[in-house]
Structure 1
Amino acid sequence: MQTHAALILVDVQPDFMPGGSLACHEGDAIVPGADRLLRRRLFRHCVATQDWHPRGHASFASSHVGTQPFQQIPLHGHPQTLWPDHCVQDTAGAALHPAIDWSSLDLILRKGSDTQVDSYSGFRENHGPDGSRPSTGLAGWLRERGVDEVYVAGLARDVCVLWTVQDAQALGFRAHLLWDLTRPVTPDSDEATRATLRAAGIGIVESADSLA
């Protein structure tokens, strides 16, 4: 068991998979591996984040007249990508994926529930009206349990997973991204994602090699 490490599974939800409203490239391919990893109980603590948006969220293109999904607008002084409506609270697309046994989870952290603030990272929300990035409380929760290292997987590799693992490293955790258990919105972003991770000193690992 990884006694001082936690597994963070980011937004493994049907809306981010083929057929979902914001499908990642091959997003469903990570489901069997994520399920196997949870069943192995290699980590003392396992966390899942869950995108959990109210209807009319500020990150939805449908909330801004004359805009289209994937267009960028300024929001609270920072660029905001506008998304298709996705992971709306209490819809099937927002559920944690039903093909995964989630019984070993210690925490489900719902994010993105503030109508005016998007929330990619499991550790901090995006910039809000006052310019800050409020904490979700996850860092403190992990530290209280003696965690100093995290392995991050899930969706999407180039957005919420990337922001989560970057924040983990910035907040003092040894951070690793389980590359084979992530998928991007588009694979065109993979080269830039790898470069960003390397520049930050974040480990890029394969689950079969690092968790054997």
Structure 2
Amino acid sequence: MNALIIIDVQYDFLPGGSLAVNQGDEIVQTINDLQSKYDLVVATQDWHPRGHKSFVTSHPGKEPFEEISLNGLNQVLWPEHCIQGTKGAELVPELLTNAVEAIFRKGMDKEIDSYSGFFDNGRKKSTGMADYLKGRGVTEVAVCGVAADYCVYYTANDALDLGFKSSIIESASKPIDPERYARMKKDFQAKGGTVI
């Protein structure tokens, strides 16, 4: 059984949002068209509390996209985004969600970021998505959405580590940094992932 995992198609990650992925809005229709090709469709939603430690505003004197060490992990400092209960955190209405059977929220612990749809960045807490997919008999996942070089990549990579056959759908994903994505893609393929 296969599953489509739709990553973070939220206002703040699309043009006009606080952490917009260039041309991120262009993939929404492709994602909609893909949904009927999969046995199961799930989605993730970045869902940060106010004052999250990944926000540059939580670190006076620091600049957006600067990297720091946070609780022993490298952390990019992001503009405030996807704050719980705000419009920026909502899935965009253009994304069809009738077929989406479950939405897994991530980034809710103020002290640690969560790029992957499966775990926080320290792999200390699970979102429950792995158990959900395995419980439904899923053996293969395809991951799409934004951003290809962060949350899409880390979700697809964790899927490999969890024993799923995993792929990234390039036509339905957009990166923040295309050069970074090219490196991540090579790493993912070297581990046995596929890019389609």
TM-score w.r.t. length of structure 1? 0.89
SS of equivalent to 2:100? coil
Q: Higher mean Cα deviation, 56-65 or 186-195?
A: 186-195
Residue of 74, 81, 87 corresponding to 1:79: 74
Separation in 1, partners of 2:185, 2:70: 27
Give deviations 1:128-150, integer Å, cap 9, x for gaps.
xxxx5322111111111110100
Separation in 2, partners of 1:191, 1:36: 25
TM-score w.r.t. length of structure 2? 0.97
Corresponding pairs, count: 196
Q: Which runs of 4+ in 1 moved over 4 A?
A: none
SS of equivalent to 1:68? coil
Q: Higher mean Cα deviation, 179-188 or 157-166?
A: 179-188
Matching residue's letter, 1:13: Q
Gaps in structure 1 of 5+ consecutive residues: 206-212
Matching residue's letter, 2:185: R
Separation in 1, partners of 2:79, 2:151: 15
Indicate the residue corresponding to 1:137 in structure 2: 128
Given that residues 25 and 187 in structure 1 are in contact (C-alpha distance below 8 angstroms), is that contact kept between their aligned partners in structure 2? no
Indicate the residue corresponding to 1:115 in structure 2: 110
State the 1:25 CA deviation: 2.0
Given that residues 14 and 20 in structure 1 are in contact (C-alpha distance below 8 angstroms), is that contact kept between their aligned partners in structure 2? yes
Task: Kindly indicate whether residue 44 of structure 2 is the aligned counterpart of residue 49 of structure 1.
Answer: yes
Taking only the aligned residue pairs, the percentage that are identical comes to 46
Indicate the residue corresponding to 1:37 in structure 2: 34
Indicate the residue corresponding to 1:25 in structure 2: 22
Give deviations 1:135-184, integer Å, cap 9, x for gaps.
21111111111101000000000000000000000110000100110000
Give deviations 1:98-142, integer Å, cap 9, x for gaps.
112201111011111111111110111112xxxx53221111111
Residue of 176, 186, 191 corresponding to 1:185: 176
Given that residues 9 and 95 in structure 2 are in contact (C-alpha distance below 8 angstroms), is that contact kept between their aligned partners in structure 1? no
Matching residue's letter, 1:55: R
Residue of 99, 105, 108 corresponding to 1:104: 99
Matching residue's letter, 1:27: G
SS of equivalent to 1:178? strand
